[in-house]
Amino acid sequence: MRMVKSLLLGGAAGLVAVAGAQAADLPMKAKAPAVQYVKICSLYGAGFYYIPGTDTCLKIGGYIRTQLDAHSAGGGLIVGTSASTQGLRNRETTNDLNARLRAVVTFDTRTQGEYGTLRSYYRVGWESTQPGESLAGTAAGRAYWDRAFIQFAGFTVGKAQSFFDIYSYGGSRSYLNVRTSGDNGAAGLMMWAYTAQFGNGFSASISLEDPDGHNLTGVRRIAAAPPPGGSTFGAPASGLSNQTATNNGFQIPDIVANLRLDQKWGFIGVSAALHQNAGSYYTANAAVPGCAAAIVTCGHPEDKWGYAFGAGVQLNVPGMPGDTTGAMFRYAKGAIGYVFGPGAGGMLLVDGDTVSFAAAHDAYFGNPVPGSPSSELNLTEAWGVNAHYEHAWTRSLKTSLFAGYVEVSFPGASKALICGTCSGGRNPDYNFWLLGSRTQWSPWKGQLNIGVEVVYASIDSSQPVTTGTRLVLAAPQTPKLIRDNDSLQISFRVQRNWYP
C-alpha cells in the first residue's frame, strides 16, 4: 500500500515538474505598443505631421476674426480712401458702424528632396462686411483666396506677397488697411520669382509680377477714372490714361528686385521695380488728319516705363525685450501703386459743404495736338514713408504707435489736363497722412487677440480755399468747396488663432 502511495505521489510530482518546465518554455505575452495614428514631423517646426503613407509634412492653421469699425469704410479702411460712397458722408450711403467677420484656413505642405524643400502653401477664407454688403444685396458674404504658391530650389511661383515689399506695420501691428503704403501683403499677386541665398542671412530676389494683382487695396497699375458724377476739377480732359484691363491688354509684367539681410536683431533691405505705362487710343479729333471718326486710326501715346524704389528696416529694440521699431521709404514715378494704395479713382471725402478730392493715376494724356506735351504720357510722381514703434508691457499686452505720409505731384501737362488753366490757384497736388495707435491683449499664448485701435487721417489738398474751386458730385450732392478734410476712426477686434 505504501508502495502504491509513493508511486502516485511521485507521478504527480513529475507531472507538476514537466508542466512547470513546459510553462517556462512558453513565450511571455508582451504589451502591445500604442498605435501612433498621427506621426509628428519635426523637420519644419511645431504643428507639422506626416500625411499617412507619404514623406510629406502638413500643417493646418487658420483663424476666426470679428471686427467692429466706427467711422470707417469697413474692414479697417479709412473713410474717403478709394473714392468709395462712404466718403460722401450722406444719409443714404454712409454707415457710422461697419462689422466684418472673417474665417480663414491655411494649408502648408513640405517635402524634403535632393534639391532641398518642396513647399506649397494655400490660404482660403470667407468674409462678410456689414451693413455694406447687405445694402449691396450680398449679405451672405464672399469666399476669397489670397495665397496659393509653390516654392522649390529658390523659385516662388503662384500668388504671394510682392518682393518689392520690405516692411509694413499693417497686419502685424495695426488693424488698418494702410493706404499710405503700397504694400500688398493683404491680398497678394501673381508672380514668377527666384531668390538666391548667399549665407549669413543675405539674399537677393528677382520677380516678374502681375501689376493688376491686388485691386482690393489699390492695384500696381492704377486705373484712371473721373470722380463720381463728373467734375469741374479732377477729371482728365480726354484719353483716360494708363494701361488697364479695359483700355490696354496685358503686355509686360512688372520687373521687381530686392536685396535684404535678415539677422537676430531684425532685417534691412532695398527694392526696385520697373512698370509699363501704356495708354489706350486717342479719341476722335477732327483737327488731326484721318482722325475725324475712327478712334483706332488716331493712334495712341507712346509707351513709357515707370519705376519705383524703396528701402526698409525693422529692429528689435536693444534692452527692451519684445519691443520693435521699423520704417520704410518709397518713391515712384509712373508707378504710384508702389507708394500707396488709394484704390481706383483716388480719394474722396465730403464734410458738410466742403470736399477733398485726390486723383490717383500713374499717367495722364490728352488728344494729339501738334507740339503739345499733353499728347504724351505724363507720369505722376509720389513718395511716402511709414514707421512704427511697438512696446511690450508684458508678454501678452502690447501697444503700437504708427504713422504714414504720402505726397503726390503732377507734371505741368497733367495739371492742364486735370484742371485746365488751374485758375484761382487750383492745384491737383496733394498729400495724405495718418497717425494711429493699437493696444492688444493676447492671452492663451497668442491664440486669442483682443484689441482696440484709434486712427486719425487727413487728405490735404494743395490748392487754397476759394469760392471758385468747387467739385460737382452726383445727386443728391451739390457742388462742394474743395479743401482739406480729415477723419477719426476706432476699431475693435477679437481674433481666435489656431496656428500651431
Kindly report, residue by residue over 141-164, the tens digit of the pLDDT.
788 899 999 999 999 999 999 999
| Lowest-pLDDT range of 284-288, 300-304, 320-324, 359-363 | 284-288
Average pLDDT over residues 432-439: 96
- Lowest-pLDDT range, 296-300, 386-390, 409-413, 463-467? 463-467
pLDDT of residue 329: 97
Could you tell me how far CA 113 lies from the centroid of its own chain? 32
Q: Decide if pLDDT at 383 tops 50.
A: yes
- 408 in a structural domain: yes
Cα 14–17–18 angle (5° rounding)? 85
Q: What is the pLDDT of residue 89?
A: 76
With respect to residue 24, please indicate whether it lies within any of the assigned structural domains: no
Most confident segment among 199-208, 230-239, 439-448: 199-208
Structural domain contains residue 383: yes
Evaluate if residue 83 carries a pLDDT over 60: no
CA 284, 286, 289, 293 torsion-angle sign: positive
Q: Which of 189, 197, 358, 171 is nearest to 275 (CA)?
A: 189
Omega into 479 within 30° of 0, i.e. cis? no
Cell triple for 340: 500707396
2 found inside a domain = no
* Contacts (Cβ under 8 Å, ≥6 apart) of 345: 82, 83, 223, 225, 226, 227, 359, 360
DSSP 3-state assignment of 375? helix
CA atoms within 13 A on the CB side of 245: 8
Spatial neighbors of 498 by CB under 8 A, at least 6 apart, are 61, 62, 63, 447
| CATH number of the domain enclosing 79 | 2.40.160.10
Average pLDDT over residues 40-56: 93
The domain tally of the chain equals: 1
pTM of the full predicted structure?
A: 0.83
User: Pairing relation of β-strands 142-152 and 116-130?
Assistant: antiparallel
The grid cell for 119 is 513647399
Q: Whole-angstrom Cα distance, residue 152 to residue 460?
A: 46
Q: 11 lies in a domain?
A: no
Residue 29 lies in a domain: no
CA angle 376, 377, 380 (to 5 degrees): 140
Q: For residue 475, give its domain range.
A: 58-497
In a domain? residue 80: yes
* Contact by Cβ (8 Å): 99, 68: yes
Whole-angstrom distance, CA of residue 48 vs CA of residue 119 = 13
Grid coordinates representing 446 are 497668442
d(Cα 105, Cα 126) in Å, to the nearest integer? 9
pLDDT tens across 104-134, in order?
Answer: 999 999 999 988 999 999 999 999 888 766 5
Over residues 467-475, mean pLDDT = 59
Only one residue has cell 494729339, namely 368
Quote the pLDDT of residue 16. 43
Q: Establish if 30 belongs to a structural domain.
A: no
Q: How far apart are CA 60 and CA 58, in angstroms?
A: 7
Would you state the pLDDT for residue 411? Answer: 86
End-to-end CA distance of the chain: 83
- Per-residue confidence (pLDDT) for residue 92, from 0 to 100: 73
Tell me what pLDDT residue 215 has. Answer: 34
Average pLDDT over residues 203-229: 58
